């Protein structure tokens, strides 16, 4: 673990202790994964077993009451990699953990051609249309991850609209139902992009900044916490309890102290 990661974990431990004393209202924490490699299969299984044992597991778009005595958790995957079907799905099925998979429709059945977020993703393949359609619908929900996995804030209004509308249309044709959730590639978004998503028919959009989501939160945008099968049990427990919710506050403070040029 890098020094930066160690510092973040230390802050998270302090935040976690303070939250246990403060006992704030119950919150929803949304986890997001990318790939699950063959050698990570057992570790991911252990994480899902921990969720089943210790958490109240709901969908990322959950808007009802939250459990006041256990962590409230939703599980999501970005990029729809084949390794998720091969190495994560068995654990999800074994422990009956529902999950949402966000699909970049322009890369179905192909090696990803976008700028990778983690080095291991270079060896991944995006699931084919047939593989996505065959996923168990009682457990897996499908959402959009755009067509091409671009930085949406760098696109024109028309190009943003095309990414959002076309990906949704492709998935609705594939799944035979409404697709109204979207995860921003790289978490990249601004007010313009969020507004465009709403106009394109998306009910919820998801970022990559941790967020404590309270019951009944009506906002279209929801934050998520990065998770990885390589997270050790202590780190995963911190993420499960929402102990990284301090990070957006730190980012805002940093931006106020060191404004962008």
Here the CATH number for the domain that contains residue 154 is 3.20.20.370
Q: Among candidates 84, 189, 207, which has minimal Cα distance to 139?
A: 84
Distance CA 64, CA 61 (A): 9
How are the residues of the chain apportioned to helix, strand and coil, as percentages rounded to the nearest 5? Answer: 45, 15, 40
Q: Print the domain residue range for 175.
A: 3-257
Q: Looking up tokens 């755009």, which residue turns up?
A: 146
* pLDDT tens, residue order, the chain (261 aa): 678 788 889 999 999 999 888 888 999 999 999 999 999 999 999 999 999 999 999 999 999 999 999 999 999 999 999 999 999 999 999 999 999 999 999 999 999 989 887 766 778 999 999 999 999 999 999 999 999 999 999 999 999 999 999 999 999 999 999 999 999 999 999 999 999 999 999 999 999 999 999 998 999 999 999 999 999 999 999 999 999 999 888 877 766 777 655
Structure pTM? Answer: 0.94
Q: Report in angstroms the alpha-carbon separations of 243 from 10, 63, 111, 212.
A: 10, 21, 34, 9
> Beta partners for 183?
206
Domains of the chain: total: 1
Distance CA 94, CA 89 (A): 8
Token digits of residue 118: 């983690």
Three-state SS at 68: coil
Q: For the chain, what's the residue count?
A: 261
Per DSSP, which regions of 86-206 are E strands?
Answer: 99-103, 140-144, 181-183, 204-206
């Amino acid at each position: 673990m890098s020094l930066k990661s160690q510092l973040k974990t230390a802050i998270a431990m302090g935040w976690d202790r303070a939250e246990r004393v403060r006992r704030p209202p119950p919150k929803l924490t949304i986890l997001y994964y990318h790939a699950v490699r063959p050698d990570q299969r057992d570790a991911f299984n252990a994480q899902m077993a921990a969720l089943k044992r210790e958490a109240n597991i709901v969908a990322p778009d959950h808007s009802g009451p939250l459990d006041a005595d256990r962590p409230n958790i939703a599980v999501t995957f970005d990029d729809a990699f084949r390794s998720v079907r091969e190495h994560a799905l068995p654990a999800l099925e074994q422990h009956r953990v529902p999950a949402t998979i966000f699909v970049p429709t322009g890369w179905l059945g192909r090696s990803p051609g976008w700028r990778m977020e983690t080095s291991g993703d270079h060896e991944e393949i995006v699931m084919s249309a047939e593989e996505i359609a065959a996923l168990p619908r009682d457990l897996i929900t499908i959402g959009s991850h755009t067509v091409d996995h671009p930085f949406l804030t760098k696109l024109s209004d028309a190009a943003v609209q095309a990414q959002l509308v076309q990906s949704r249309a492709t998935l609705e044709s594939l799944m035979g139902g409404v697709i109204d959730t979207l995860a921003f590639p790289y978490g990249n978004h601004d007010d313009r992009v969020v507004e465009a998503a709403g106009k394109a028919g998306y009910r919820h959009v998801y970022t990559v900044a941790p967020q404590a989501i309270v019951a009944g939160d009506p906002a279209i945008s929801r934050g998520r916490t990065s998770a990885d099968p390589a997270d050790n049990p202590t780190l995963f427990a911190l993420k499960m309890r929402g102990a990284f919710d301090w990070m957006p506050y730190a980012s805002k403070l940093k931006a106020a102290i060191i404004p962008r040029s």
